[in-house]
Structure 1
Amino acid sequence: MILKTPEDTRALGRSLAPLLRAGDLIVLVGPLGAGKTQLAQGIGAGLGVRGAITSPTFVISRVHPPDPSRGGRLPLVHVDAYRLGGVAEVDDLDLDADVDAAVTVVEWGAGLVEQLVDGYLEIRLDRDEESDERTATLVPHGSDWDERLAGLLTVAE
């Protein structure tokens, strides 16, 4: 998917939100400035969670509970694994305690968090420096992600 603006990136997140359920893990992959936090903002908006979604780089993890006034239905656990040194440090966060009850979105999590669940969705974001356009590639790993994403991809085309 081509995302021409930051709002397009957030819109992709909002369009994913109805497909998400408790226990889902989304791993965001991409270089600095690719739009990982913007995508997480869209997911949070689509889930109707409380609080502004900002990069949790320094706190590593934030939990955003659902906001009933915004139609919130699931909590969002937003993690930035950039400063983590390995799987052992991820284990220290006790993310597996939250993963069953929430949607967990992890920036910089490739190779670190996949063991938390049986199936997860990887979203690769790349940014063209000249045009500032982003390209999003959705890569399902196990579970029923292929089936859930089929409707989203039909709408996007």
Structure 2
Amino acid sequence: MNAPYDPHAVAPAGAPTATAQLTVHSPEQMQELGRRLAKLLRPGDLVLLTGQLGAGKTTLTRGLGEGMGVRGAVTSPTFVIARVHPSLSGGPALVHVDAYRLGGGLDEMEDLDLDVSLPDSVVVVEWGDGKVEDLSEDRLHVVIGRTEGDETVENDEREVVITGVGPRWAAADLSPLAG
């Protein structure tokens, strides 16, 4: 990744964490990672996605949607801010939020009623750093970064660090995410 990543930087001091780090070599593998991650998620889970433009946040979320069996194509919600994808199989809905255009914190996102959606859904927030952490003491923080190398060469390889924060994730086995 472009800068060293400290998984404890996403968690309050003393908060329990679990971490997995892996390399993804293509958009197809990023989508597959989303499908594997979906198997670990349950209603009430909050997932924050961090990475530069084009890192693969929406591709990962597309895989989550496939793995959760939700209705509708998962696309970037940049202009609508949030999309709700109901489950086709009785599972939780996927609420996909893009906070890129939102400058404030949780107050600005209050109109989205994420606190109401969270208990019954899996809420995934792209660009949510510093904006939605207060929704839950338990969350998954996924950081996607390009691998080191020549930035002028097209490179689909990404380093992904997944950190589970809080009691929900403290004893979680994130090793299945490595494939």
2:54 alignment partner in structure 1: 33
The 2-side partners of 1:37 and 1:63 are apart by: 14
User: Partner of 2:85 in structure 1?
Assistant: 64
Q: Distance in 2 between matches of 1:63 and 1:156?
A: 28
Match of 1:80 in 2: 98
Unmatched 5+ stretches in structure 1: none
Say if 1:10 and 1:43, in contact at 8 Å, map to a contact too. yes
**Cα deviation, residue 43, structure 1:** 0.6
Q: Hey, what's the Cα distance between the residues in 2 that align with 1:154 and 1:28?
A: 19
- Tell me: CA distance 1:65–1:43, structure 2 relative to 1, closer, same or farther (3 Å): same
Secondary structure, aligned partner of 1:137: strand
Identity %: 52
* 1:132 to 2:151 alignment: no
Q: Which has the larger radius of gyration?
A: 2
Task: Tell me the SS of whatever aligns to 2:72.
Answer: coil
Q: How far 1:66 moved relative to its partner?
A: 0.3
Give CA-to-partner distance per residue, 1:95-121, whole Å, 9 cap, x none.
111011000000000100011112101
Note the C-alpha offset of 1:143.
Answer: 2.4
CA contact (8 A) 1:18 1:47 kept: yes
Aligned residues: 152
Q: TM-score, normalised by structure 2?
A: 0.80
Matched, 1:156 2:168: no
Give the match's secondary structure for 1:100: helix
1:33–1:127 contact (8 Å) kept in structure 2: no
SS at match of 2:71: coil
SS class of match (1:2): strand
Superimposed CA distance per residue, residues 6-54 of structure 1 (whole angstroms, 9 cap, x where no aligned partner): 0110111100111111000000000001000001001110000000000
Superposition RMSD on alpha carbons, in Å?
1.4
Structure 2: gaps spanning 5 or more residues: 1-21
> Could you say if the C-alpha distance between residues 61 and 51 of structure 1 is closer, same or farther in structure 2, counting changes exceeding 3 Å?
same
